[in-house]
Each structure stands twice: as structure tokens, then as C-alpha cells.
Amino acid sequence: MSEQVLIRQGAEARVYRTSIDGREAIAKQRFSKKYRHPELDNKLTRGRLNQEARCLKRCREHGIRAPDVIRVDKESATLYIEFIPGPTLKEWISGSSDKHAQGELMGVVGEILHRLHSHNIIHGDLTTSNMIINDEQPVLIDFGLSQISPSAEDKAVDLYVLERAFISTHPDSEPLFARVLQTYHCDDAAGAVLRRLEAVRQRGRKRDMSG
């Protein structure tokens, strides 16, 4: 294993660039929370580590592009995954002025999210920063808040988080997200999720109005 270079630190984990077994990799090390009881903290940390690895593996099993899991080190609470080169979707949108190409890519994003949800995988933190454009195709990354759930509500919240990310990050992006939903809505199950999405939006508006 080569030297690890810290590239990001979040609320739950430190993320390093490294290599392992001859492969470029990302090491995501979850750290303990001092305010939690050590036994509970260890249980929660390992639980999230295992859940993230399970969801990534499930994606790969169902043909959803996501990093390959290289190793799970439970002792150090570190997940080693394949490094995916390329700009984030956020960077790609910001650097693109081709509306047709944007629409085409958003259509692919919608198809991927439909496949994700059809296999009951909830990403938990869908943003344009958590998709990498590699070989002109989106790759989903950062499954740290992921879970397995058949709930239409959970899937709708997943889409709502992405919609809020578009609104806050990309000005005048309504047509882009509309295209995502257009290709997502390809069967009755997706229709049920989109109906729940409208209810989630209404709750969000009420929270915004109440401050």
C-alpha cells in the first residue's frame, strides 16, 4: 500500500488518495465520535462501513456504475474502493454550454437512478458532486449514507435531495432535473415514487415558509 494523501475530511470520515494491490484507490476512514459511548460508537461505525460496502457491491451486481470495493478493513474502519477519474457532474455541467449534450447526459442519470431504486438501493446523498463523469458516463460515488429500502418515500427523498442540489448549485437548472425525472419515470413503480416526491416537495415548502 502506498502513502495516503488526504483529499477531503467530512463529518463522518476522512478520504485519502492511495493505491492498494497495484490499483489506484480511495481510502475512506470513518472516525469515532467522542460524544458517543465507545461500544455504541464502534457498533454504529462498523454498521455504516458494512452498509456502504454492501450497497456498492449491490450496485455492481446490477450493472449500476459505482466504484469497485477493493477491501474492507474493519479494525481501522476503512473502506478501500476503486479510484474513478473524471470531473464531477457539478464540474461537467459548469463547464458545458451544449444544451443537447446536457440533456442527453441528464437522461442517462435518470435511467441510472431508476435502476438504482428498482433494486431498492437508496443513495442517501444524491448531489451533482457525488457523480463522476467517466468515459462520458455517470458513476455514482460516496454511498456513506446509503441503505437498502423498498420504500417509495425513501426513494422520493433521494430524488428531492438531488433536486435541491440542482437548485442550489446550478442556476436555471429546472430543465436539467426535469429531464432526469422524464427518463426515471418509465414504469408504475417510478410513477409512485414521483407522486411521493410531490408530497416531499410540499413538506419542504412548508418548512421553508415556517423558517
Q: What is the pLDDT of residues 106-136, one digit of tens each?
A: 999 999 999 999 999 999 999 999 999 999 9
- Flag whether pLDDT at 208 surpasses 70: no
pTM confidence score: 0.90
Across the range 132-149, mean pLDDT stands at: 96
Q: What is the pLDDT of residues 70-86, one digit of tens each?
A: 999 998 999 999 999 99
Higher pLDDT, 41 or 85: 85
The span from the CA of 153 to the CA of 195, in Å, is 9
- Flag whether pLDDT at 186 surpasses 80: yes
Is it true that domain 89-210 has CATH number 1.10.510.10? yes
pLDDT number for residue 92: 96
- Flag whether pLDDT at 69 surpasses 90: yes
pLDDT number for residue 4: 86
Residue 125 designated active-site: yes
Residue matched to cell numbers 476512514: 29
Sheet holding 23-30, edge to edge: 5-9, 13-20, 23-30, 78-82, 69-73
pLDDT number for residue 39: 79
The span from the CA of 128 to the CA of 173, in Å, is 12
CATH number attached to the domain at 5-82: 3.30.200.20
Q: What is the pLDDT of residues 161-179, one digit of tens each?
A: 999 999 999 988 899 999 9
Q: Which one from 125, 142, 154, 172 is the annotated catalytic residue? A: 125
Domain ranges of the chain: 5-82, 89-210
Higher pLDDT, 90 or 43: 90
On the question of a common fold for 5-82 and 89-210, the answer reads no
Per cent of the chain over pLDDT 70 is 96
Cβ neighbors of 178 (< 8 A, separation 6 or more) are none
Question: Which residues on neighbouring strands pair with residue 158, listed in sequence order?
Answer: none
